Amino acid sequence: MPEMNPAAVKRPIGSHGVIGDLRTCALIADDGTLDYLCWPNLDSPSVFTALLDSDQAGLFSLAPEWTDCRRQQLYLPDSNILQTRWLSQHGVAEVTDFMPLCEAGDTQPRIIRRVQVIHGEVRFHLRCAPVHDYSRAATVASLDQDSVTFAAQGQPALRLVASVPLEAQGNAATCSFVLSHGQQAEFMFGGAEDELLTLENVKLCQQETLQFWQRWSAQSHYRGRWREMVNRSALALKLLTSLKHGSIAAAATFGLPEHVGGERNWDYRATWIRDASFSVYALMRLGYNDEAKAFNQWVGRCMENSQFAPEHLQVMYRLDSGTDLEEHTLDHLSGYGGSRPVRIGNHAYSQLQLDIYGELMDAVYLANKYGEAISHKGWQHIIRMIDHVCDHWNQADAGIWEMRGEPQHFLHSRLMCWVAIDRALRLGMKRSLSMPYDRWDKVRGEIRQDIWAHFWNEDLGHFTSTRDGKSLDASMLLMPLFRFVSAKDPEWLATLDAIKTHLVEDGMVYRYHTADTPADALDGQEGAFAACSFWYVECLARADRIDEAQVEFEKLLRYANPLGLYAEELDKRGYALGNTPQALTHLALISAAYYLDRKLTGDRSLWQP
């Protein structure tokens, strides 16, 4: 199937900004339309779903009637407060969107939209038309003085409050109003039962929200080049964290396709042990240690929910550490650009993916090295987990890419089993903790020997992605990043060159070739994987191929949307594909920028695991 031009989609993935309150996130396109929101939590049913269907699936549009204007989006400095601007021959107007932080945990999420005319005079049109329960419930709007309430049977009621007169018809609140230079209008959307902010307090609330984000952003230790992109990535990662639970979502969305028109459409509103562990690594590298502490506490609750049985440690968990993520399809939704089925939940939660133990153990090791020491109870969990790895490292599994075909012996899974034992041994030695050292050390050596014996292909002259196989996949780029092999080892450099030849196109790295990967078991193609592209840059930098790394990195930076945000994948023209914003992409950017900057400046005091 040929790739669809993003212009053919009403609001392309890459045309969106994101706002949030550490409980949920909303996507707002550069035409002023809020077309995606799950409420009240990130993993709750959506109430605005136009991004995955037609506008009748729910949206909140707010824009001037100008037809000849230029549109722009920007974030207020070092914050997640979004401004959408329209520049016309007739004037300039802007909408400022943000969500006040729900620090108390009692107030439901609220979206505030402030309209201002910078100069000129303009008529604005507003349409707020939520549709509850993934656009499945019959929602009715009713007018009550200066607000409109949206109700559906069995669903939490919602309310829109405005500083201008509203009308209600069907499931929508509408209005049309004129503003001149210096005039403003305010709108607040949230729970009907909650005490919403008064319109008079909106300006103060914006100032407090801005201060929160700027205080958080100022904690970063990063002072190198590409600072703006690194800080934006950190702010995107923070948006995906749960203030209440300490979990980190893989992305804010569900159902956005890896190939427009294809079936690779997944729900990423959960916490993958792997992705969240990587996120903790990236945030700690910048100096955000509180997030690491909260994440480790969340992991402890996940283990308790798994009845302290490491063999039941899931690939992913709900944001509240719950274990059920049963997969369903929303057949009434047409999908983004016709990409069906639209899925909620994720069947991969029940897969065996042995690599998660290594990623988790690496995060635990780093949190102990740069933060608080592990508790006695926590170490007992680790002992049980590593003993489990020692017993099961030689099993076939679904691998990092969550293959839906027959299990295979994947190099990445084997590598991360080695990492799990290696980091546990290091942590135990560093903290003088009791452990079965001889057994763990013996198995660590066996895994290393197995990798060299069965995943190095002498005839091809490079490592392979499966046991005694021939194919490549981009997860192999993590071998030097996790210090299994030197970044300058001749065998590794031969593998890096093979990846460059077969999986890299102008800096964009594909995970694998679907035609060469029977375990993929899905129809169609996918885009280049953005996180792998940044891993590739870091591998080049670690191999002292600095000029090449810098050129490839600069190319990748140009593939961000105008706000500096990335989705999961890129099409052949560098346009966004997949769920967005994607934690794995942004954390890989942080890691690559950090290492490359230090190499360019000659700084030897690299932050190391």
Predicted confidence (pLDDT) per residue in 166-187, tens digit: 999 999 999 999 999 999 999 9
Q: Where does residue 149 rank: exposed (0-12), middle (13-18), buried (19+ CB within 10 A)?
A: middle
- Using one digit for the tens of pLDDT, what is the confidence trace for 219-229? 999 999 999 99
- Banded pLDDT at 1 (limits 50, 70, 90): very low
Q: What is the pLDDT of residue 197?
A: 66
User: Mean pLDDT over residues 46-56, rounded?
Assistant: 98
> Which residue ranges form the domains of the chain, and what is each CATH number?
6-216 (2.70.98.40), 219-601 (1.50.10.10)
Tokens of 488: 């300058």
Q: What is the pLDDT of residue 305?
A: 74
Long-range pairs for 480-484: beta carbons < 8 A, 24 or more residues apart: 480/539, 480/542, 480/543, 481/535, 481/538, 481/539, 481/542, 481/591, 482/358, 482/362, 482/415, 482/416, 482/419, 482/609, 483/609, 484/415, 484/418, 484/419, 484/448, 484/451
Res 604 pLDDT > 60: no
Res 308 pLDDT > 60: no
Q: Is 226 in a helix, a strand, or coil? A: coil
Residue 215 CA, chain-centre distance (Å), reads 22
- Using one digit for the tens of pLDDT, what is the confidence trace for 109-147? 999 999 999 999 999 999 999 999 999 999 999 998 889
Res 467 pLDDT > 90: yes
- Give, in degrees to the nearest 5, the angle at Cα 49 between 265 and 581: 55
Q: What is the pLDDT of residue 106?
A: 61
Q: What is the pLDDT of residue 607?
A: 46
The least confident of 232-241, 328-337, 355-364, 558-567 is 355-364
What mean pLDDT value characterizes the chain? 92
Answer yes or no: are the C-beta atoms of 407 and 397 closer than 8 Å: yes
Q: What is the pLDDT of residue 579?
A: 98
DSSP codes joined into one string, 79-96: SS-EEEEEEETTEEEEEE
- Using one digit for the tens of pLDDT, what is the confidence trace for 254-270? 999 999 999 999 999 99
Q: Dihedral (C-alpha) 450, 453, 459, 460: value to the nearest 10 degrees?
A: 30
- Using one digit for the tens of pLDDT, what is the confidence trace for 376-413? 988 988 999 999 999 999 999 999 998 888 999 999 99
Q: Are strands 462-463 and 82-88 parallel, antiparallel or unpaired?
A: unpaired
- Using one digit for the tens of pLDDT, what is the confidence trace for 9-26? 899 999 999 999 999 999
User: Mean pLDDT over residues 486-514, rounded?
Assistant: 95
| % of the chain with per-residue pLDDT over 90 | 78
